[in-house]
Amino acid sequence: MKKYYLILFIFFPLTESVASIKNNIIKNLQNINNISFDFEQNINGKTEGGNCIIEYPKKIFCKYNLKNKKVLVSNGNSLVIKTQSSYYLYPLEKTSLNLILNKEFLITKISNLKERIIEDKFINYNFTENDNEINIFFDKKSFNLIGWQTLDIYQNLSITYLNSIIKNKKIKKNQFQLPAQN
């Protein structure tokens, strides 16, 4: 009989801990209106970096640290990638960012998914939606979103790491206005 109590005692805290982590991630997401961060993005071995602001739902502004002054902007409906020499306009719904930038969608997905703990530092959720496979990562201590891995619209593997995260920062009113075409 003592063996059964010992087994229950050992496994119960682990189950409660995983549920607590998921609840804390969800609670953290619920309390965020926007996040600002620096990022590093690796697409098929090519690394770029910069800083971004996400405002839920579905808005993002990223300025890359590149000579070509690349920016990525979503106003919630369309996504523009602009450099000094090019301008690309996409319907947001055709990209995986449509899902990543939708806080309510993420909360619903996370609620129904089993997490994977990586190196006792990161929490990972993996899902496929509308032919988009997405791996999303959270910090185990702060419960902050710290990155994602997707296939981009050209089927390139795209890995994005977030750092220097600031939550609920005051944002300029026109921050997510799509830039004019060149």
CA distance from start to end of the chain: 76
Q: Is the pLDDT of residue 121 over 80?
A: yes
Q: Tokens for 12, please give them.
A: 């119960």
Residue that wins the pLDDT comparison between 156 and 63: 63
Q: Tokens for 175, please give them.
A: 């921050």
What is the layout of strands, in order, in the sheet containing 59-64? 87-91, 78-82, 71-75, 59-64, 46-55, 34-43, 157-167, 145-151, 132-139, 122-129, 116-118
Q: Residue 36's beta-bridge partner residues?
A: 53, 166
Return the pLDDT at 17: 67
Q: Is the pLDDT of residue 70 over 70?
A: yes
